[in-house]
């Protein structure tokens, strides 16, 4: 029997002092990939590109440094010519033009030199009409302290305008010698345009246009020898009451007159237009005019549109230089007035016999067609210099009876063109 001999280990052995040899540590290295080396020529190209980019950056930095040193951070708008600055401001609304005064010292007073001033309550920034009125008072008073001339003033206001705001705007325009004034309002609190138009005069005012959504009286009209607008050449009135028999006597040099939807309130519904320099006349009324008196020897263009054809009265010689006549007609739809309108229309033809161009709207042709059989019995119309005749179908049919297209029949054209001997006459 084999016996394994185990040597005894003394109890005094220090196990911590014993050292045992360790196996060698194995090092892990990642697998080595094969590196694809670039050719020497390609390396040179890359170095050359990097060098070129660096050169460009250096040049750009140098140019920026030179530009900053020469300009010295001056604002571009400061060096603009004053005429160009004023042109820019004239394209802006007035409230934005005023804000440009905060740009610099040179821009601060420029808005007061703008030749046009547009005051519009419909623009952004005016939530309430009282804010707009305060803005108008402040800006006009500020401009009054400056010796800057204003060529054109436009005033637009919705709602009901007070007499105070209207007096402010028109008093400023007349006192500052504004050349063109245009105003459109919804309504006036006292039912009238400002009284300063009657109690003032202006030698610089050349164009005046007044329009309202409601009918208003106009103190501007009527005789007044002390206060005149002798250089006024263009007058346009929309929805205005006319009470005077001589409403345009204050304008000796009036050349263009437009009456749009005006109401004639004179005795006998007589509209008298006495203007020796008048060249263009346009009358459009929603009510009938019984008699139209024209003392306009230089009249060249006459456009008439109303509910009836009035009795036309002209001085001896008539309208010798008349070039263009346009006639429209709002048919009332009552048969009892057709005969009267027909007779007045033939009388009107005699008053404008010297015209070179005649344009009729379909309602006028329809009125003539109602009595086409009588045209052959009447004396031929005195159109001897007529060179152009047409029926205008461009607008809507103004007749209340028929909505279909009305074309002139042979009897109508033969009546109108019988005495015309011009070979270049055009018929439509």
Q: How many CB atoms lie within 10 A of CB 193?
A: 26
CA 297 → CA 136, 280, 315, 318, distances in Å? 42, 11, 9, 7
What one-character DSSP code corresponds to residue 109? T
**Do the bridges between strand 207-217 and strand 180-188 make them parallel or antiparallel, or are there none, so unpaired?**
parallel
Write down the pLDDT at residue 363: 86
Beta-sheet strands, E only, within 139-269: 152-161, 180-188, 207-217, 234-242, 256-260, 263-264
Closest CA to 323 of 294, 287, 365, 352: 352
Q: Of 322, 326, 329, 328, nearest to 384 (Cα)?
A: 322
Q: To which residue do tokens 């609304």 refer?
A: 93
The predicted structure's pLDDT at residue 144: 57
Burial class (CB in 10 A: 0-12, 13-18, 19+), 427: exposed
User: Exposed e or buried b for every residue in 39-74, given b needs 16+ CB within 10 A?
Assistant: eeeeeeeeeeeeeeeeeeeeeeeeeeeeeeeeeeee
Q: Is the pLDDT of residue 298 over 80?
A: yes
Q: Is the pLDDT of residue 280 over 70?
A: yes
- Predicted confidence at residue 206, as pLDDT, reads 94
Strands 280-284 and 301-306: parallel
Question: Quick check: 319 and 293 in contact, CB under 8 A?
Answer: no
CA distance 102 to 92: 15
Tell me, what's the pLDDT at 21?
A: 58
Give all strands (DSSP E) within 40-165, no chain letters: 116-120, 152-161
C-beta of residue 291 within 8 angstroms of C-beta of residue 268: yes
Number of neighbouring beta carbons within 10 Å of residue 210: 21
Question: In this model, does residue 83 exceed pLDDT 80?
Answer: no
Question: Whole-structure pTM over 0.85, yes or no?
Answer: no
Domain ranges of the chain: 170-417
* pLDDT at 258 exceeding the cut of 80: yes
* Residue, of 125 and 253, whose pLDDT is higher: 253
Q: In this model, does residue 73 exceed pLDDT 70?
A: no
> Listing from the earlier edge strand, what are the strands of the sheet with 291-295?
270-274, 291-295, 311-313
What confidence score (pLDDT) does residue 281 get? 96
Tens digits of residue pLDDT in 118-141 = 888 887 667 788 888 888 888 787
- Report the Cα–Cα distance between both ends of the chain, in Å, rounded: 150
Q: CA dist 392 to 198, 246, 354, 406, Å?
A: 40, 33, 20, 10
pLDDT computed for residue 210 by the predictor: 96
């Amino acid at each position: 029997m084999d016996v394994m001999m185990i040597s005894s280990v003394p109890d005094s052995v220090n196990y911590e002092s014993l050292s045992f040899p360790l196996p060698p540590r194995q090092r892990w290295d990642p697998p080595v990939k094969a590196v694809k080396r670039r050719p020497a020529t390609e390396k040179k190209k890359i170095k050359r590109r990097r060098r070129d980019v660096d050169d460009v950056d250096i040049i750009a930095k140098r140019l920026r440094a030179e530009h900053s040193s020469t300009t010295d951070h001056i604002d571009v708008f400061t060096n603009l010519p004053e005429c160009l600055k004023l042109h820019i401001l004239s394209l802006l609304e007035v409230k934005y033009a005023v804000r440009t005064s905060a740009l610099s010292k040179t821009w601060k007073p420029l808005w007061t030199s703008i030749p046009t001033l547009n005051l519009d309550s419909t623009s952004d920034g005016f939530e309430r009409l009282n804010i707009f009125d305060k803005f108008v008072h402040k800006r006009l008073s500020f401009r009054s302290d400056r010796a800057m001339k204003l060529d054109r003033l436009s005033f637009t206001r919705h709602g009901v305008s007070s007499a105070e705001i209207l007096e402010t705007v028109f008093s400023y325009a007349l006192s500052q010698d504004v050349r063109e004034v245009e105003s459109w309002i919804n309504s006036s609190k006292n039912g009238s345009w400002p009284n300063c138009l009657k109690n003032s005069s202006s030698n610089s005012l050349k164009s005046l246009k007044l329009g309202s959504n409601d009918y208003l009286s106009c103190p501007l009209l009527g005789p007044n020898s002390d206060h005149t607008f002798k250089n006024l050449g263009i007058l346009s009135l929309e929805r205005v009451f006319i009470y005077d028999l001589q409403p345009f006597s204050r304008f000796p040099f009036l050349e263009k007159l437009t009456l749009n939807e005006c109401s004639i309130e004179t005795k006998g519904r007589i509209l008298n237009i006495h203007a020796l320099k008048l060249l263009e006349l346009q009358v459009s009324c929603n009510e009938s005019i019984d008699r139209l008196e024209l003392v306009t020897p230089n009249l060249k263009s006459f456009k008439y549109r109303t509910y009836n054809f009035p009795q036309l009265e002209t001085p001896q010689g008539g309208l010798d230089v008349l070039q263009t006549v346009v006639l429209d007609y709002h048919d009332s739809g009552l048969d009892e007035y057709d005969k009267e309108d027909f007779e007045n229309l033939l009388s009107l033809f005699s008053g404008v016999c010297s015209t070179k161009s005649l344009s009729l709207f379909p309602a006028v042709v329809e009125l003539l067609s109602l009595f086409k059989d009588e045209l052959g019995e009447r004396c031929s119309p005195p159109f001897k210099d007529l060179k152009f005749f047409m029926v205008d179908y461009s607008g809507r049919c103004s007749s209340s009876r028929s909505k279909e297209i009305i074309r002139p029949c042979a009897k109508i054209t033969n009546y109108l063109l019988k005495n015309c001997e011009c070979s270049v006459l055009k018929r439509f």
